[in-house]
């Protein structure tokens, strides 16, 4: 069932509730088959051959290699590998997480679900629903290793819905806030960054690891100081997590433009009161406005989370660079996901043109809780619910 395999034309369809069906991991050949199928949804920025190359490449990057990513397929138990029709498919990506309640922090892993897909001829028959029900149960203990610190538990799993807030919620993935600040791309001629007294400094690959370590320290400190009785969860903003986005970006931009960007973020402000952003460029289709190609701020960090003029000036200098980069790489807008009230106020202080949007259909963060039964969905606060956690 490789790239040139003929499409299966079944004479009938198994019942989605049949015990003969099961969710299992794909063979190497079946992985390629799923990429061939779902390229119509997620591969339109590239040729088919480039998309297949990208998907294979992404299994080798730090976050995904060594079984960091798992490819799932719903198939019949009774048919041979590589010959069984793939009724539904998806992927899960393993990430380190923190959970805090009343200042007590525990570590674990989560699995981010992506690329949920079923061929048009199999839709409406309950196969995707069957896959998701089984997957929700499996991920609760998937890849737990009690001998490795931080891998003793899977407290929750996540996904980002592109079909509104209701479908995945009925399987247990509860919706969390999904708003963002959007800013237009601006050419360097109209940017005021060069005249700022607190100009931002671009970040490259070499700068990211140390900032991620400091970010983790600040995040742990924040969670340790939170004692409101609620459960706070966060995906760790590790260098591997950022690299997953950056290496994906590098591959796609090299194919489209023949080069890859070296500026991966920006930083401004004095030591101890710095503001920095790490970002990526995402291409969802051809270089046309209707493709929705977007410059995403993966993570925004304020060392001093205070609403003041210094932070506003630092943020403005960073956003100036982001807007210039978005313009250079032909992206529709700059997006900053789920900004805090402090960040919203700082953006207003910058007086930059912007708008706040609430996503109702696409990229809606959703979380299934596996921890104690007393904790309800409304008691869980997703901290740093930003683009870096997307998969």
Cα 99 to Cα 380: distance, rounded to the nearest angstrom: 10
Q: How would DSSP label each residue in 350-374?
A: HT---EEEE-SSSSEEEEEE-S-TT
Domain residue spans of the chain: 21-175, 179-359
Output the pTM of the full model. Answer: 0.94
Q: Provide the pLDDT for residue 2.
A: 39
Distance of CA 347 to the CA centre of its chain: 23
Nearest Cα to 327, choosing from 181, 180, 184, 182? 184
CATH topology of domain 21-175: Aminopeptidase (3.40.630)
CATH topology of domain 179-359: Aminopeptidase (3.40.630)
Q: Provide the pLDDT for residue 198.
A: 63
Cα 123 to Cα 74: distance, rounded to the nearest angstrom: 13
Say whether 179-359 and 21-175 share the same fold: yes
Note whether 314 and 198 are within 8 A (CB): yes
> Mean pLDDT per segment of 10 residues, for the chain of length 391 residues?
44 91 98 98 97 98 98 97 97 98 97 98 97 98 96 97 97 97 84 56 98 98 94 98 98 98 98 98 96 98 97 98 98 98 98 97 97 84 98 94
Q: Provide the pLDDT for residue 197.
A: 52
Count Cβ atoms below 10 Å from residue 244 Cβ, excluding itself.
25
Distances (CA, A) of 280 to 34, 93, 105, 242, 323: 26, 19, 30, 9, 12
Count Cβ atoms below 10 Å from residue 100 Cβ, excluding itself.
23
- To which H or E segment does residue 71 belong? strand 69-76
Under DSSP, the state recorded for 5 is: P
Cα 342 to Cα 233: distance, rounded to the nearest angstrom: 20
Cα 367 to Cα 169: distance, rounded to the nearest angstrom: 9
Q: Provide the pLDDT for residue 377.
A: 75
């Amino acid at each position: 069932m490789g790239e040139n395999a003929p499409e299966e034309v079944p004479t009938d369809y198994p019942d989605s509730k049949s015990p003969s069906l099961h969710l299992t991991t794909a063979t190497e050949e079946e992985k390629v088959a799923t990429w061939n199928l779902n390229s119509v949804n997620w591969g339109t920025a590239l040729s088919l051959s480039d998309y297949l190359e990208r998907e294979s490449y992404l299994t080798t990057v730090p976050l995904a290699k060594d079984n960091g990513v798992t490819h799932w397929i719903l198939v019949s138990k009774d048919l041979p590998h590589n010959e069984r029709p793939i009724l539904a498919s998806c992927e899960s990506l393993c990430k380190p997480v923190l959970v805090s309640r009343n200042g007590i922090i525990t570590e674990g892993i989560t699995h981010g679900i992506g690329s949920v897909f079923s061929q048009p001829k199999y839709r409406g028959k309950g196969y995707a629903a069957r896959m998701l029900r089984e997957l929700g149960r499996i991920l609760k203990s998937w890849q737990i290793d009690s001998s490795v610190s931080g891998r003793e538990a899977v407290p929750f799993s996540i996904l980002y819905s592109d079909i509104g807030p209701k479908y995945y919620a009925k399987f247990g993935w509860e919706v969390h806030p999904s708003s963002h600040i959007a800013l237009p791309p601006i050419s360097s001629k109209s940017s005021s960054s060069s005249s700022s007294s607190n100009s931002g400094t671009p970040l490259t690959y070499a700068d990211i690891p140390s900032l991620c370590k400091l970010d983790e320290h600040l995040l742990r400190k924040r969670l340790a100081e939170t004692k409101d009785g609620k459960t706070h969860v966060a995906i760790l903003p590790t260098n591997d997590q950022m690299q997953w986005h950056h290496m994906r970006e590098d591959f796609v931009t090299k194919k489209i433009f023949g080069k890859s960007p070296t500026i991966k973020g920006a930083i401004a402000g004095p030591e101890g009161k710095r503001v920095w952003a790490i970002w990526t460029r995402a291409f969802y289709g051809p270089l046309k406005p209707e493709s929705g190609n977007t410059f995403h701020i993966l993570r925004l960090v304020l060392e001093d989370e205070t609403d003041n003029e210094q932070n506003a000036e630092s943020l403005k200098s960073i956003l100036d660079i982001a807007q210039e980069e978005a313009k250079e790489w032909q992206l529709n807008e700059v997006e900053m996901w789920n900004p805090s009230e402090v960040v919203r106020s700082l953006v207003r202080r910058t007086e930059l043109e912007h708008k706040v949007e609430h996503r109702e259909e696409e990229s809606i963060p959703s979380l299934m809780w596996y921890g104690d039964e007393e904790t309800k969905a409304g008691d869980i606060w997703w901290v740093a619910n930003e683009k870096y956690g997307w998969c």
